[in-house]
Structure 1
Amino acid sequence: MAARDGSRVLASPLRSLPALGQSRSMFIQTETTPNDDSLKFIPGVPVMTNNGTAEFTEAKSSIGSPLALRLFGIDDVRSVFYGPDFVTVSKQEDSQWNVLKPEIYSILMEHFSSQAPLFRDAAAQEAAGPQDTKILDTDSEIVAMVKELLDTRIRPAIMEDGGDIEYRGFDENTGLVKLKLKGSCRGCSSSSVTLKSGIERMLKHYIPEVQTVEQVLDQEEEIALDAFSDFEKRLEEKEKDNEKNKKQDLSQYMSL
């Protein structure tokens, strides 16, 4: 579970609550996540209804949500994720949170204090938050069990860290469960540990038919992963060349 960093910002009072006859001030808290480039912002009011989630990885995909679109207007914001009671914002690796947070706070406080809708319409909300773990009449007993475990045991734990998982399918011949990591889990260095040590172990424990869990990557994630692998290979080759040159220099020195 992520630890709160104690950051709190006092915004303008929310609208008066008719039932109480008084106004309430908004406090936005932040929580760190396992991903240094993602922060979890907690406005103290519901964000997504029905325990749903929604993710936007570019400004074009956020047109249906005015809040996400405004957040993408901040330089170096890479993605926006809505949870039941939080908003996770992810930044570019080379940017600094102390530069981005004030503007993020301002946009979040303005939105939630005005009680503006999160989406332009119901169609936009449905498009942003797929009901991937909804049990269908066509699901097999195994698939239904996988979805139930994901929804009731695994998803709540991952949301504590500002992320989520999306069910992408189950191969009953191989026992392979396909999942997509979202929010702060996207691109996190510990995501493979989360998949294998956490999710896979729990699914295999309760459902013997499950043999392994595999992460599904978007095209942009695959490109980034390939680029990182190429970079690591180049570094390794450079280190080998340097070591070889050192040995040659030493050999020449000893022959003098």
Structure 2
Amino acid sequence: MFIETETTPNPATLKFLPGRQVMPSGTREFTDPDAAEVSPLASALFSLGDVTGVFFGSDFVSVSVAPGVQWADLKPQVVAILLDHFVSGAPLFTGGDAGDIAVPAEDADMGDDPADADVVAQIRELIETRVRPAVAGDGGDIIYRGFREGVVFLTMQGACAGCPSSTQTLKHGIEGLLKHYVPEVTEVRAA
């Protein structure tokens, strides 16, 4: 088995591609060792000590490290853990499949006004078809949180969370796209 790596716009995060499916559906982010206890793979990565975040995408794992950590030192250790996990066929989660453990992104919505249903549907469609694939290419994900009074609330995950260019991505990329196709959108904010 060969695991490819890709850089991301976030210098603290690398994207690892095992050449097979990681998550059967959805995504999952771990921001601390306690949250990672439900995943043997995420726990093993956090056990390296310098890991500050693990993100599972459909066919990749993004790993974020603490400031000042050199990827040249840590990358071989991360690859070894990933190889061990995928070659052994170990489960990604303990106690059931990912659907039993992962919290669906919709559960965190802000409760959109039913009067905005058509606008929200347009926003969600654009995020799903245009934004999410681009963000996944950078090792992350974007989660819709709500729409209120012209403002779209989104959460960046994985490599995109904490990325120096995430504000630019939200403000100039996603906001511009949504404003262009959905005139009711006046602003995009991080949630």
> Fold conserved (TM > 0.5)?
yes
Specify the code of the residue in structure 2 equivalent to 1:170. Answer: F
Provide the TM-score with structure 2 as the length reference: 0.91
Q: 2:6 aligns with which of 12, 31, 45?
A: 31
Q: Which residue of 2 aligns with 1:238?
A: none
**Aligned residues with identical type, % of pairs:** 52
Q: How does 1:1-256 map to 2 (within 5 A)?
A: 26-50=1-25, 52-122=26-96, 125-132=99-106, 140-171=117-148, 174-216=149-191
Alignment size in residue pairs: 186
Secondary structure of residue in 2 paired with 1:41:
strand
Provide the TM-score with structure 1 as the length reference: 0.69
Residues in 2 aligned to 1:32 and 1:143: alpha-carbon distance in whole angstroms: 33
> For each residue in 1:199-242, what CA deviation from the matched residue of structure 2 results, as whole angstroms up to 9, or x when unmatched?
111111111111100012xxxxxxxxxxxxxxxxxxxxxxxxxx
Unaligned runs of 5+ in 2: none
Contact 1:55 1:128 in 2 (8 A): no
Residues in 1 aligned to 2:87 and 2:47: alpha-carbon distance in whole angstroms: 20
Secondary structure of residue in 2 paired with 1:149:
helix
> For each residue in 1:24-56, what CA deviation from the matched residue of structure 2 results, as whole angstroms up to 9, or x when unmatched?
xx1100000011100000000100113x11100
Residues in 2 aligned to 1:124 and 1:160: alpha-carbon distance in whole angstroms: 22
Residues in 2 aligned to 1:61 and 1:127: alpha-carbon distance in whole angstroms: 11
Secondary structure of residue in 1 paired with 2:155:
strand
Residues in 2 aligned to 1:129 and 1:86: alpha-carbon distance in whole angstroms: 19
Residues in 2 aligned to 1:198 and 1:122: alpha-carbon distance in whole angstroms: 38
Secondary structure of residue in 2 paired with 1:63:
helix
Residues in 1 aligned to 2:96 and 2:177: alpha-carbon distance in whole angstroms: 35
- Find the structure with the greater CA-based Rg: 1
**Which piece of structure 1 moves more, 152-161 or 119-128?**
119-128
Unaligned runs of 5+ in 1: 1-25, 217-256
Residues in 2 aligned to 1:126 and 1:152: alpha-carbon distance in whole angstroms: 26
Specify the code of the residue in structure 1 equivalent to 2:8. Answer: T
Residues in 1 aligned to 2:106 and 2:173: alpha-carbon distance in whole angstroms: 20
Change (3 A) 1:29 1:124: closer
